[in-house]
Amino acid sequence: MIILETTGDIAHVHDVVMIKEGHTYYLFSTGKGIPMRRSKDMLAWEQAGRVFDTYPEWVEQAVPNAKSLWAPDIVFHAGKYYLYYAASTFGSRRSVIGLATNVTLDPRDPNYNWVDEGAVISSQESDDYNAIDPQLSFDEGGQPWLAFGSFWSGIKLVQVDRRTMKPSRGAELISIASNPGSAAVEGAYIVRRGDVYYLFISHDYCCRGTLSTYKIKVGRARDIAGPYRDRDGKLLTDGGGTLIYAGSSRWRGPGHNSIYVENDNYFLVYHSYDADAEGAPTLRIEQLGWDQEEWPLSPSALLER
């Protein structure tokens, strides 16, 4: 297990996901137009442009006051990169998840071109869930599923059509995590390891600088649709979750993680608010360990015991 000493353009990185194309790693995060960063070694990062110079017209119509696009997720599937993202405003359920595709992530490649694939799923103030924080994963049979949700009734999972890579009309929304009481749960990320699915979530509050109380938790299940339980057997739909990392005196409110897998190594990729930099949300990457019972371990958390 290691904690990577990242350098370069790593400040003001929020809700981050990482993927690799060829010999280059790419990061996507919340921000105007969805900022992109790249690195050759996962350590030194530089800017690599934005996905959108102008927002698709349908996004502006769906959420007129959206200034930035939130919490992207990206996968490579059937020869394309599928980038899911959300448009919303803080505290609102008038939200929409969108999709863009590309055949390469290298802006210098002549084939580089982000194609707007339109809306995926939306929510309104009358709904008891929020259509933000998308994350696409696949079950053991190759069936794609989309996890999403923030606050209110929590995290949902919906089956995705293999052709459109969007949910079919009327597809069932399955509840997989919630946080009764405060309702503060979001940032779902599902990853399969062996025969087990791990659901990472963020409990409590982000976006408050050094006062942020975000923390990363996890549950697991034998089926991608759950039920997910923590180490003590508590359902994640009942507020459960085994703590992975809650931060330190310097690194406050760690959360909204993604998982990057390379050569059977699992990397926890997330943001944390740096108390030494006036609370700037900052990129953090660390290699997860696994205990004897196959629960993930954060090296940052172990160092602080």
Q: What does the pLDDT look like over 60-93, one tens digit per residue?
A: 999 998 899 999 999 999 999 999 999 999 889 9
Distances (CA, A) of 92 to 66, 125, 128: 11, 7, 11
Structural domain contains residue 208 = yes
Active site residue 15: yes
Structural domain contains residue 1 = no
Q: Please state the rounded mean pLDDT for residues 110-127.
A: 96
Query: Which residue bears the tokens 């933000």?
Result: 132
Query: Which residue bears the tokens 């509050």?
Result: 205
CATH number of the domain within which 239 lies = 2.115.10.20
pLDDT category at 119 given cuts 50, 70, 90 is very high
**Sequence-distant (≥ 6) Cβ neighbours of residue 284 within 8 angstroms:** 3, 6, 251, 254, 268, 269, 270, 271, 272, 300
Say what the pLDDT of residue 305 is: 58
| pLDDT digits 0-9 by tens, 202-212 | 999 999 999 99
Q: Residue 217: is its pLDDT beyond 90?
A: yes
Cis omega (within 30 of 0) on the bond before 227? yes
Active site residue 186: yes
Structural domain contains residue 66 = yes
Of 9, 117, 133, 186, which one is the catalytic site residue?
186
Range of the domain at 89: 7-303
Mean pLDDT, the chain, integer: 96
Of 15, 133, 230, 274, which one is the catalytic site residue?
15
Structural domain contains residue 2 = no
pTM: 0.96
Query: Which residue bears the tokens 């969108």?
Result: 98
Say what the pLDDT of residue 169 is: 84
Say what the pLDDT of residue 170 is: 84
Query: Domain total for the chain?
Result: 1
**Sequence-distant (≥ 6) Cβ neighbours of residue 134 within 8 angstroms:** 71, 73, 84, 85, 86, 97, 120, 146, 147, 148
